[in-house]
Amino acid sequence: MRSFAIWACCIFGSNVVSAASCNADNCLRALFPTQSPAVYSSDAAFCATFTATVRTQTTGFPSKASSACGTAPARYSSACSCKPKLSSTLTSTTTTTSSSTSTSSTSTSSTSTSTTSTSTTSSSTTASPACTPTRPVNDAVTNGGFECGLPPWVAVDISGTSHAITSPGDASNFAYEFDQTGPISPTANQNPAAVSQNLATVAGVPYNLNFRTWFDKCTGSEGFVGVKINGQPVYTVDACDNPAGQYSTNLVQFFATGGDNVRFEFLIGENPAVVKIDNVSVVPLH
């Protein structure tokens, strides 16, 4: 599970390779994916060594970041120069609870825990649910379970990708499915496929964003789902954070500005690949 909230630019010594600017991009998200102290310490240790001298090598980078960062030293230097500050008040949570086998179909602050149970389903099929999208009481998300199709969610596909509302979902009828069906777009890291929605939030109120994710496999280049609130990256969940073929619960906490937007981005490096999002909710903490 991956969460982060504060971007902080750091100044290194004159003998250090650093990017001209701090780019809060997908390379940064991949290199510093969580505010877990143990994981953060490991990432920070890499940066301390990497930025100590001029670096020109194109190997030896953390494998978890290779898909998003590539082999250009400048990308890692940029990520290291603006690594987030570790907040002692934030935690990370992922809960694994169900499994399914899928076949592809056409078509700010943060928080995140881990338990496992099994509930096996078979395959997914493209669905066309017919109903009127509704928003539950106290929930800022409309049609968070995709039981009424896509609206008011807005999906963005890029070259080599597609999306569909498929069945079954996570202990429900339907789910949003992202499919990598062709070659990976060379601009996918900068402009990834995504699905988003404007929220009915109240300014100044703290909210819990809960959602479920499902990946078809765990490989070094499968990638991750990134979450943005109002265009700012706040959380990522990697394909290998939990067992493949199982739904996992993710939790992000944030303070609303009023009329906020939530966006799920698919940073996937495998072809083919299937990722699912389901049961999205945004409810007040109190």
Which residues of the chain are in CATH 2.60.120.260 domains?
A: 94-284
Query: What per-residue confidence (pLDDT) applies to 131?
Result: 85
Mean pLDDT (10-residue bins), the chain, 286 residues: 39 35 68 57 77 74 78 83 52 41 38 36 55 90 96 97 96 95 94 98 97 96 95 95 95 95 97 98 92
- The predicted pLDDT at position 119 comes to 35
Q: Which tokens belong to 122?
A: 């078979």
CB crowding 83-105: b at 16 or more within 10 Å, else e: bbebeeebbbbbbbbbbbebebb
Upper half-sphere CA count for residue 43 (Cβ side, 13 Å): 28
Query: Is it true that domain 94-284 has CATH number 3.40.50.300?
Result: no
Tokens encoding 197? 């929605």
Cβ neighbours of residue 143 closer than 8 Å, sequence gap 6 or more: 133, 134, 135, 149, 150, 151, 152, 153
Dihedrals phi, psi of 158, to nearest 5 degrees: -125, 175
User: Which pLDDT does position 52 carry in this prediction?
Assistant: 75
**Gap between the Cα atoms of 268 and 68, Å rounded:** 9
pLDDT at 43: 74
> Hey, how many other C-beta atoms are within 10 angstroms of the C-beta on 71?
12
Q: Name the residue among 81, 140, 180 with its Cα closest to residue 283.
A: 140
At 76 the pLDDT is: 84
Per-residue model confidence (pLDDT) at position 220? 85
At residue 66, the pLDDT reads: 77
